[in-house]
Structure 1
């Protein structure tokens, strides 16, 4: 494990800018991850900071950004602008990137991957998707699933969800996963709610579990790609 540097940037988005922070590993590695928050909060949401710090210490470049819009189409557009920014960044020449988000942020990431995979210029830059607390349905509204983007995705997908998440019933996510064409894995955080809180368990302990799961999945997928 080694240290990393934090670099603040402003990413052009239409006629404004998105606030973002790079967590840059000391050793240059070829892969990166983009992270964004849910409907509330921003890029400094503790779980995102913890994950970015952890991954950067193991050599994965992380770029987390803030986008406050509550409209999913707007959030998706912003996420796409961040992907383009990183792809053409002269400072960090990456072989590939993983898209990740928490709650609404993971919906935006899934939507970006679906859109880009339907474009003719899909060049394999996006290596996979990480969904933290994917909001599969509204609380108590299990009949309307937000699964349309997931069913079109082909790259590997990791879901990390709480088994007591009121916006992602266990059986329903497992049902959607079984219909997905993509290689997928679900890691359930036992008794965690949508905010990943577990009664009687320290937040740091839960974050450690999330971080190690995400990193080991990333490592498997990077290794498979380059065996």
Structure 2
């Protein structure tokens, strides 16, 4: 939750009028993370306190994988089809390092809402050609933004974290704006 990329992105989006809720789950277990993420989405949908018409889900690394899993699960319920308006995946962990033969793409192939991937071109857990191949099979509208020479932590030699975050934040806000405009047409 307090990962610098997520803090920066949430602050940037909030400063541009996009309400952000950040939360965390202890542990790396994907099943546990997915349950926690799903519980938050269900709460937001049913809450009388918020009365939201829709949400975009986002996550970094394993969090983006959990968000994709939640979208796949909830998309089977008509009540959630229009509620979940998009997915942002920062450093989606498409495969384990050096294990490109076992892709973690099963949830991505079922998603129908717009998806933005922001990944490093040197990410050891998301080889560029493999993500582009998976994206070409996806039925959802999708966009991939590559951070040149960035690793899985989105670090780039010769660039500051703030500089990289400016690029990421501007890209995510632009994508949100495009997708919110499409939703209202």
Same fold (TM over 0.5): yes
Q: Which has the higher strand share?
A: 1
> In the alignment, is residue 194 of structure 1 matched against residue 167 of structure 2?
no
| Count of aligned pairs | 185
Structure whose CA Rg is larger: 1
Q: Is the 8 A contact 2:74 2:81 kept in 1?
A: no
Q: Which residue of 2 aligns with 1:142?
A: 100
Structure 2 segments unaligned to the other structure (5+ residues): none
| Cα drift, residue 114 of structure 1 | 0.2
Q: Which has the higher helix share?
A: 2
Q: Which residue of 2 aligns with 1:90?
A: 48
| Cα drift, residue 109 of structure 1 | 0.1
Runs of 4+ displaced beyond 4 Å:
none
Q: What is the aligned-residue RMSD (CA, Å)?
A: 1.0
Structure 1 segments unaligned to the other structure (5+ residues): 1-42
SS in structure 2 opposite 1:175? helix
Which of 156, 164, 171 matches 1:206? 164
> In the alignment, is residue 81 of structure 1 matched against residue 39 of structure 2?
yes
SS in structure 1 opposite 2:117? strand
SS in structure 2 opposite 1:100? strand
| Cα drift, residue 90 of structure 1 | 3.2
TM-score scaled by structure 2? 0.97
| Cα drift, residue 62 of structure 1 | 0.1
